[in-house]
Amino acid sequence: MLDPDSLSEPGPKTAAAEPPGAGATGAIVSLARGRGVLRDALKTMPSSPGVYRMLDQRGDALYVGKAKSLKKRVSSYVNVRALSVRLQRMVAATTAVEVVTTKSEVEALLLESNLIKRLKPHYNIVLRDDKSFPYILITSDHEWPRITKYRGARRRKGEYFGPFASAGAVNQTIQALHRAFPLRSCSDSVFESRTRPCLQYQIKRCAAPCVGRIGRADYEALVDEARAFLAGRSDEIKQRLTGRMTAASEALEYETAAAYRDRIRALSLIQSRQGINVVGLGDADVVAAHQEAGQTCVQVFFFRAGQNYGNRAYFPRHPKESEGAEVLAAFIGQFYNNRVAPPLVLINRALADQALVANALSLKAERQVRLHRPRRGDKRKLMDDAERNAREALARRLSESVAQRNLLEALTDALGLESVPERIEVYDNSHISGTNAVGAMIVTGPDGYLKNAYRKFNIKSDAKPPAQGGIAPGDDYGMLREVLTRRFGRLMKDDPERLQDGWPDLILIDGGAGQLGETRRVFADLGVSAVAVAAIAKGPERNAGRERLFLPGRSPVTFEARDPVLYFLQRLRDEAHRFAIGSHRARRARSAGRSVIDQIPGVGPSRKRALLHHFGSARGVAQAGLADLERVAGISGALARTIYDHLHGES
């Protein structure tokens, strides 16, 4: 443990708690500084419930926590000897503390979950996947209701059924529903413009209310049946359709009987895809967490009206020492932050603040929400199934992680690194003859690609001539120099002691000896050290498979044609290339809609519109004389001269 009290006379280095890239003395200074920030904050901190945020020197949140008593909770961080090394690093990086008081601890818990989900602090347990879930919507804002897939805020009037675990599950269910209940799926504008039935009517997926092929009462009956089926009364609807099929068959109306038979089959198909269904369960979520090797998988199963709407696996980011119940509690708070919990949430671990979490969910849902850990019966069987899925999903992820770790270890040997890199950054750039130039950075590590850490850099110096500090069109070295200067200049400014995890252990450049040399010059200018550098270039005639790896002070390294390390490097380079090209194309597409008029000082949207209306096109404006420009409404003589000089290259 670091001892901040020894600040006046620093003792020998304490390797166990030494942050990467920083000596023990620097770490002790930072820890003492962080403790001082906390002590100053405690002087005015209230003892009421609320949420506190520890901020770094950039103002980013390091940690968000809730407390029944803010003063008592934050004061626990001042006794740094009782903290783990990880929390000592957090205190050392803290430069400010912000608090928000709340009326109750329940409100504090809701606010904490909201802030963690939005800010994603490094030292919190964070739910990384925040995709919304799709629903099935039966609209009620049109005289002929429509059945469709819906995702997002529930602003449209109608009845929502779900959530479903995936868009694929919704699409399959809707397709089967259209066979069972031929309701329209077209938009209102398409519906109003139809003059004859569409293909959906021909394949018996729609009753064609748009052209009067079905009456209002019969269509409403179909809507009611679809609504009843989705609400859980599936057996009742199937029995009703079976009775109609039997009656039609006895009346020798075989085509009608066949139509009812097909509708029954469609409903049976939906039920078969839902797998496990529990009678009397109603609306419930089954949430099971499984831990292994310092990682956690949380499986969530969605049951609505007793029907299984699918499941999804989550892998929250958390410290390896976090307990399963702690991870599960944090997950539940963030998972239901922007969605309403069902009346029953089944969990496989008892939570430390289970009553508090249940009260918070109830407050958000505006009705009672119960957290229950089942011990026996059908609910226990559901939990067993969820736990099995969580265990298998985590095993697959760990297997992938092992393969990734093996590749990183092989790369470490090939490059002669001292340790396995935890963070690799790969750089590339993309442009067309120097225009719309974009630099790209991708990040990978033991868990694979970290896409939320990807960055793009719009090259700024290409807008200036080389004499004014810009770069010439197509100057790859100049683009690389700008990207690396911006990236590592910011790191050196914000985190020179490397107390945070944003520093790479290895950077890989797409290029050869020239790019490697340029990178080393940038690092020398910025004072960057202890970051391994390599450049990968294609072989003669740019043949893939004959790449060479350039390293400082060594001859280029070549690999066997089927070397796994070569494949790994190729994948990294190709991913960086893909991201760079995508960013370049997006920038080029944005600039395609711009004209030379947009770059003229003093010409805003209204004056641009006046010029285009007067001359018909940007080319017409460029060809206009000074006197012609002065005749345009809203263009003064001085502005006309500015426009003319800009378009004709005069100053």
Decide which of 273, 295, 326 is a domain's last residue.
273
Query: Domain total for the chain?
Result: 5
d(CA 149, CA 147): 7
Residue 442: partners with Cβ closer than 8 Å, 6 or more residues away: 425, 426, 449, 454, 572, 575, 576, 579
d(CA 236, CA 47): 57
252 and 361 co-located in one domain: no
145 and 248 co-located in one domain: yes
217 and 153 co-located in one domain: yes
Centroid of chain to Cα 218: 45
302 and 198 co-located in one domain: no
Task: State pLDDT tens for residues 266-306.
Answer: 777 666 655 555 667 888 999 999 998 888 999 999 988 87
409 within some domain? no
Q: Model confidence at 26, in pLDDT bands (50, 70, 90)? A: low
Residue among 628, 619, 564, 624 nearest 596 (CA)? 619
Are 80 and 91 within 8 A, CB to CB?
Answer: yes
Tell me which of 241-245, 549-553, 566-570, 617-621 is least confident: 617-621
Select the more confidently predicted residue: 199 or 306. 199
Rounded to 5 degrees, φ, ψ at 363 are -60, -40
Structure tokens at 527: 């004072």
Task: State whether residue 458 is helix, strand or coil.
Answer: strand
Task: State whether residue 584 is helix, strand or coil.
Answer: helix
Q: What is the CATH number of the domain that holds 516?
A: 3.30.420.340
What's residue 84's pLDDT?
87
55 within some domain? yes
431 and 556 co-located in one domain: yes
559 and 600 co-located in one domain: no
> Which residue range(s) make up the domain with 610?
596-647
308 and 189 co-located in one domain: no
Judged on CB neighbours under 10 Å (0-12, 13-18, 19+), 455 is: middle
81 within some domain? yes
436 and 289 co-located in one domain: no
Q: Find tokens 């964070």 and name the residue.
A: 126
118 within some domain? no
**Is the whole model's pTM more than 0.75, yes or no?**
no
454 and 309 co-located in one domain: no
d(CA 163, CA 137): 11
End-to-end, the C-alpha distance of the chain in Å comes to 66
243 and 365 co-located in one domain: no
Select the more confidently predicted residue: 305 or 361. 361
Which amino acid would we find at residue 37? V
Question: Rounded mean pLDDT of 343-362?
Answer: 94
pLDDT at 4 over 60: no
Task: State pLDDT tens for residues 37-78.
Answer: 999 999 999 999 999 999 998 889 999 999 999 999 999 999
344 and 448 co-located in one domain: no
Structure tokens at 457: 């850099």
What's residue 357's pLDDT?
94
- Helix (H) or strand (E) holding 147, with range, is strand 147-150
pLDDT at 12 over 80: no
- Helix (H) or strand (E) holding 307, with range, is strand 307-314
500 and 559 co-located in one domain: yes
d(CA 249, CA 257): 6
574 within some domain? yes
Which amino acid would we find at residue 52? Y
